[in-house]
Amino acid sequence: MIIDWTKIWQKMYDEMKNEVAKFKTKPTLWAILVWNNSSSLRYIKQKKKWAEYVWINFKLEQFDEKISEIELYNKIKSFNEDQNINWYIVQLPLPKHINQTKIINNIHPKKDVDWFHPNNQGKVLIWDETAFIPCTPAWIMEILKHENINVEWKTVCVIWRSNIVGKPIISLLINAWATVLACNSKTKNIEKFTTQAEIVIVAAWSPWLLKVNMLKVWAIVIDVWFTIINEKIHWDADTKLIDLVWSKVTPVPGWVWALTVACLMKNTIKAYKLQNK
C-alpha cells in the first residue's frame, strides 16, 4: 500500500492558511540561491509558489555560481544584521569551492527557519521546547503521525547519516521513544538490521539498496531519495516493494519536494508566531 501523501500535504496547507489569515502582517521569507542546478531551481520555484499560496512574501537573492566564499560569507553577515530580514534560507547544496558547513554555521540561529545551524540542531538533539524541526525529518514525523504510527516500543532502522536528514531524524525518533538502529553505506550485513525493524527509513541515494527480502512482514518503508540514471528514477527501495500489500511505501516523484516545502512554510509561520507573541 502506498501512503497517500497528498492528504497529509493538503491538511498541512489548510491549517497553515487558517493560521496566516489571522496574522496582522504578512511574514517574509528570504532565500539565497547560489548554485543553479535543476534540483535547487525546482526547490526555489516551489518555495516561492507555496509561500505565496499561504500568504508569505518570498524574496530571492540569486548569485553567480562563481561567487567566492568570502563574498557569500559577507552576504550572510549582511542578512544577519539586516533588521528587515527576519528569516532566510540558503539553498543547498553550495558549489564545491564553498565550505557549506562554514556558511551554515554563520546563519543567525534565530533567522534559520531551515533549522540547520548547529545551535538549532543541538536543540533537536536534546529536545528543547523552542526547537523547530528541520524540513525533511519534519515530514517523516508528520507521515508517521498522520498514519497513527506510534514509534514507542518499535524498532526503526534509519539508513543514512547526513546532517540534514539522517542525524536529526535519529534524534527525533529517540525523543519519541523509538529504538533506533542507525545504519549507513558502510554497515556490514545491513539486512541484519533492516530485518529487525518495524519501520525502515532510507535516505542513502543508493539505487535499490533496500530489497524486499531485507524486510520484516508488515514493515513500513519510508523512502526519501531517488537517483536519476538514464532519465529513469531509481528509488533507494526496490520498486517491487510497491507490490507488497503489507508494506506502506512512499515512492512518488515530486512528493519529497512538496512535503519539504510545506514544512518550511510551517517553520516560517511558527517563527512569525513566536516573534509576535
Query: Residues in the site for ligand GUN, rule: CB under 6 A?
Result: 89-92, 114, 135-136, 260
Beta-carbon contacts of 107 under 8 Å, excluding residues fewer than 6 positions away, are 76, 79, 80, 88, 90, 116, 117
Beta bridge partners of 223: 202
Beta-carbon contacts of 274 under 8 Å, excluding residues fewer than 6 positions away, are 130
For ligand GUN, the closer of residues 138 and 156 by Cβ is 138
CB 92, min distance to ligand GUN, A: 4
CB 214, min distance to ligand GUN, A: 26
For ligand GUN, the closer of residues 190 and 261 by Cβ is 261
For ligand GUN, the closer of residues 107 and 241 by Cβ is 107
* Residue carrying the nine cell digits 553505506: 185
CB-closest chain residue to ligand GUN: 92
For ligand GUN, the closer of residues 30 and 272 by Cβ is 30
For ligand GUN, the closer of residues 34 and 197 by Cβ is 34
CB 263, min distance to ligand GUN, A: 8
Are the C-beta atoms of residues 123 and 131 closer than 8 Å to each other? yes
CA of residue 81 relative to chain centroid, distance: 27
DSSP assignment of 261-273 equals HHHHHHHHHHHHH
CB 39, min distance to ligand GUN, A: 7
Q: What distance in Å separates the CA atoms of residue 115 and residue 228, rounded to the nearest whole number?
A: 28
* Omega prior to 27 cis, within 30 of 0: no
CB 97, min distance to ligand GUN, A: 18
For ligand GUN, the closer of residues 139 and 193 by Cβ is 139
Q: For 248, which DSSP code?
A: B
CB 130, min distance to ligand GUN, A: 20
